[in-house]
Amino acid sequence: MRPPASKVLIAGLCLALAFAACGKKTSDASASGGAKALSLAVIPKGTTHEFWKSIHAGAARAARELGVEILWKGPQKEDDRAQQITVVEDFISRGVDGIVLAPLDDRALMRPVRDAVREKIPVVIIDSALQGSDYVSYVSTDNYKGGVLAARRLGELLGGQGRIFLIRYQEGSASTVQREAGFYDTVKKEFPGLVLLVQDQYAGATTETAYQLAENLISRFPDVEGVFAPNESSTFGTLRALQESRLAGKVVFVGFDSSPKLIQGLRDGHIQGLVLQNPDKMGYLGVKTIVAHLRGEPVEKIIDTGVVLATLDNMDAPEIRALLSPDLTLIDD
């Protein structure tokens, strides 16, 4: 006897919800025979920006090499601390073997990380620092150095003189706080002729809020000569505001991270520098490090994944092109 259509629909919905709750899985471990593959949660700050897609690709590459399973899941918005905490707590409840986490707040995620360690689930931190020491390793860019590179590029192009904006990202994001500090300190020490018109305004977690802030600042200070934005979303929002105000290419603009639209902005001369991380390497080494720890191997407490400056002059060099347009084929299914 066939079940009623309503029961079939409910069963299908339940199955779909159960699958969604698991997050996106990546594994090359055999489903039959042999030891059970390690199951690792990889939790980004968000999932929409190109940066996080590249971290996912690197993590997937490591999972394939090591024969482990990764469960990829993060909050929908990069300012949703509560949702990221819930994701961590859910993976603790499911008893994953380890967690690779990019904390979107350096204090708010301390408690759930302690909870994981209490349940014998080790944690590797990537991208953005976490206060305390309840983690196995920290795999990241030298973010302060990235800010230094940005300040030197801006200062040199302006000849050490000019009126500039330092656009900040959001409070609690340790990675961007360090970039902003590197930029600010370098301007003060090496370029005293640069005047910071703005240094305490936050762009927020989306390209739209960044655009709105940059648009307002340009309206207030139309004689601005240089701008620094410290991450992908703030860089794109600022680029859009400069383009719409017909200042793109006239104002010296240095941003952080990469996306197809930012690459085009660099090629068009609307962006004079992009500070590039290596998010693929970050995701790859995050997974490699947690697996090494779980297998009883020693790991470094801090792992630097590198930072470089891309310009119109070097953007087609193979090593820069690989960072501007990383290979995402492993997650394009």
Domain membership of residue 310 (yes or no) is no
Share of the chain above pLDDT 70, in %: 89
Domain membership of residue 5 (yes or no) is no
Quick one: pLDDT at residue 9? Answer: 39
Domain membership of residue 316 (yes or no) is no
Residues 164 and 268 in one domain: yes
Residues 154 and 132 in one domain: no
Domain membership of residue 176 (yes or no) is yes
Distance CA 183, CA 177 (A): 10
State how many domains the chain has. Answer: 2
Q: Count the neighbouring beta carbons within 10 Å of the beta carbon of residue 10.
A: 12
Residues 36 and 149 in one domain: no
Residues 191 and 134 in one domain: no
- The pLDDT tens digits for 93-128 are 999 999 999 999 999 999 999 999 999 999 999 999
Residues 147 and 272 in one domain: yes
Residues 49 and 88 in one domain: yes
Domain membership of residue 313 (yes or no) is no
Residues 33 and 47 in one domain: yes
CATH number of the structural domain spanning residue 110: 3.40.50.2300
Domain membership of residue 282 (yes or no) is yes
Quick one: pLDDT at residue 80? Answer: 95
Residue 250 is part of which domain span? 143-276
Residues 176 and 66 in one domain: no
Residues 297 and 247 in one domain: no
Residues 110 and 201 in one domain: no
Residues 100 and 158 in one domain: no
Q: Which of 239, 261, 276 is the last residue of a domain?
A: 276
Looking up tokens 């301007």 gives 187
Domain membership of residue 96 (yes or no) is yes
Quick one: pLDDT at residue 11? Answer: 42
Quick one: pLDDT at residue 260? Answer: 97
Domain membership of residue 240 (yes or no) is yes
Residues 149 and 264 in one domain: yes
Quick one: pLDDT at residue 332? Answer: 80
Quick one: pLDDT at residue 36? Answer: 80
List, run by run, the mean pLDDT of 10-residue segments along the chain (333 residues).
Answer: 41 39 48 69 95 97 98 95 98 99 97 98 98 97 98 99 98 96 99 97 97 98 98 98 98 98 98 98 99 98 98 98 95 77
